[in-house]
């Protein structure tokens, strides 16, 4: 196996550092637009145009999660060996190709295979490389703002893609969405997919051209044995922070997966039409922009673990309001307040997930390996949350099904709160944390 090392410490100009984080932001969200963001914003439309039940769409997400589960481990060590721009650019090109297939409206089986393909393209070459590049960009003292900019910026990219999609969808419909036939809606959404795919591929080209490595010299190749790779895994598994971060991210990511149903809730419970419901989902991404940057700054001023505890507490409060059943179609202000509350808690974690790596004293040399292992457990909601939500929503139509989903969120958030406290306690102790 081949890795790359540099003979001197890398120095980038301020201008290049700005370009690097901008490209990481663009790529970091663009790669997930097709499998998740469009399906989240246009969920009622996707269910209708692809003739899917909630469970079937959830099963597609589950196929993605299973393939991603394997890719986290196999791809994690690649980030410790190759330059991020090559790994990430290839990933974006492959994801975009999948979008062209999606635009043909494949069958349920074909869509399931496509989501499995995306589970590989978006994770194997991409995920750990993006996280490690961001950690290197932040250095020792700016992890919070690094990941805050990354996720706040990703929120802006997602917000922009969402509104671009809504604009294209609305402009191409000859009549209002309520009276448009399925053929017209299919054609309009097809253009949303194709244009998104073209933009994703273009961002991949930008990475190849403009993203620079952190070293001034060209890296030199060094042979690393498979045994050394396994040694890295064993080293990472001895760090208690890794195990706690697995639990924390699992519980937090469960909350993020529930953002998939916000537009559907607006459509089915609050009575919004498809376009207005999509706008709800897209507008919430604006919350992610603000929260990402604010939480990043606060995490650098205090501790990531403390901010994680606060975020879990906020999530629990919002989830329990949904569970109570007091939100009705006429209580639009309460609906808006509650959904923003849950989104605030959930989106805060998008910043805190990996900014806590520095606090957890995980060596930078094995960051890619650590990210792979943490993600292996932390992102398992990609496997089970889609089908779980699908079953709850299909078996209990209307508000009741959504209340059950938010109850599940409250339970996971409570477990996450306990794990975040233990992480905070462990890393405020002075003794080294070696098992």
List pLDDT tens digits, range 378-397.
888 988 998 999 999 999 98
Asked if residue 4 belongs to a domain, the reply is no
Asked if residue 133 belongs to a domain, the reply is yes
Cα→Cα distances 307→173, 281, 295, 304, 425, Å: 44, 25, 7, 5, 13
Please give the distance of CA 280 from its chain centroid, rounded to a whole number.
19
Contacts of residue 148, Cβ cutoff 8 Å, sequence gap at least 6? 292, 293, 294, 295, 296, 297, 299, 351, 355
Asked if residue 432 belongs to a domain, the reply is no
DSSP H or E stretch at residue 121:
helix 108-121
Give the number of C-alpha atoms closer than 13 A to the C-alpha of residue 53, restricted to the C-beta side: 13
What is the C-alpha separation between 421 and 308, in angstroms, rounded?
Answer: 9
**For 136-163, what is each residue's pLDDT tens digit?**
787 766 766 777 778 778 878 888 888 8
Asked if residue 180 belongs to a domain, the reply is yes
Whole-model pTM: value is 0.72
Asked if residue 319 belongs to a domain, the reply is yes
| Rounded (5°) CA angle 149-153-157 | 170
Q: Which regions of the chain are under pLDDT 50? A: 1-9, 215-223, 431-435
Asked if residue 182 belongs to a domain, the reply is yes
Q: How many domains does the chain have?
A: 1
**For 319-346, what is each residue's pLDDT tens digit?**
999 999 999 888 989 998 999 899 888 8
Asked if residue 262 belongs to a domain, the reply is yes
Residue-level pLDDT at 49 = 93
Residue-level pLDDT at 409 = 95
Residue corresponding to tokens 């943490």: 374
| Owning domain of residue 373 | 12-213+227-427
What is the C-alpha separation between 226 and 241, in angstroms, rounded?
Answer: 25
What is the C-alpha separation between 71 and 77, in angstroms, rounded?
Answer: 11
Asked if residue 6 belongs to a domain, the reply is no
Residue-level pLDDT at 56 = 94
Residue-level pLDDT at 421 = 93
Per-residue burial over 355-378, b = 16 or more CB atoms within 10 Å of its CB, e = otherwise: bbbbbbebeeebbbbbbbbbbbbb
CATH number at residue 359: 1.20.1250.20
């Amino acid at each position: 196996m081949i890795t790359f090392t540099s003979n001197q410490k890398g120095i980038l100009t301020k201008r290049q550092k700005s370009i690097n984080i901008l490209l990481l932001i663009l790529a970091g969200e663009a790669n997930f637009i097709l499998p998740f963001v469009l399906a989240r914003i246009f969920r009622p439309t996707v269910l209708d145009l692809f003739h899917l039940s909630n469970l079937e769409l959830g099963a597609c997400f589950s196929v993605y999660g299973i393939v991603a589960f394997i890719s986290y481990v196999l791809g994690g060590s690649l980030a410790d060996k190759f330059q991020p721009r090559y790994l990430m650019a290839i990933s974006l090109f492959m994801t975009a190709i999948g979008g062209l297939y999606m635009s043909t409206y494949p069958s349920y089986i074909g869509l399931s295979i496509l989501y499995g393909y995306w589970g590989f393209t978006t994770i194997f070459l991409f995920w750990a490389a993006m996280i490690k590049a961001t950690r290197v960009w932040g250095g020792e003292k700016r992890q919070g703002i690094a990941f805050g900019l990354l996720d706040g910026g990703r929120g802006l990219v997602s917000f922009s893609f969402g509104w671009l999609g809504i604009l294209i969808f609305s402009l191409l419909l000859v009549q209002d969405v309520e009276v448009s036939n399925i053929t017209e809606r299919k054609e309009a959404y097809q253009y949303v997919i194709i244009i998104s795919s073209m933009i994703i591929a273009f961002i991949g080209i930008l990475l190849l051209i403009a993203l620079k490595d952190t070293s001034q010299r060209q890296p030199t190749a060094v042979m690393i044995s498979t045994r050394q790779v396994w040694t890295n895994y064993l080293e990472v598994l001895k760090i208690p922070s890794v195990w706690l971060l697995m639990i924390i991210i699992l519980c937090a990511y469960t909350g993020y997966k529930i953002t998939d149903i916000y537009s559907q809730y607006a459509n089915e419970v609050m009575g919004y039409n498809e376009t207005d419901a999509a706008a709800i989902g897209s507008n919430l991404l604006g919350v992610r922009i603000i929260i990402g940057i604010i939480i990043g700054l606060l995490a650098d001023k205090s501790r990531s673990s403390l901010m994680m505890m606060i975020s879990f507490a906020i999530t629990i409060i919002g989830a329990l309001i949904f569970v109570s059943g007091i939100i009705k179609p006429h209580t639009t202000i309460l609906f808006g307040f509650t959904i923003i509350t849950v989104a605030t808690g959930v989106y805060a974690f998008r910043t805190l997930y990996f900014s806590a790596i520095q606090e957890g004293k995980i060596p930078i040399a094995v960051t890619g390996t650590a990210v792979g292992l943490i993600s292996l457990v932390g992102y398992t909601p990609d496997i089970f949350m889609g089908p779980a939500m699908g079953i709850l929503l299909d078996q209990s139509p209307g508000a009741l099904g959504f209340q059950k989903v938010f109850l599940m969120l409250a339970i996971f958030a409570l477990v996450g709160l306990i794990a975040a406290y233990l992480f905070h306690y462990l890393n405020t102790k002075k003794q080294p944390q070696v098992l």
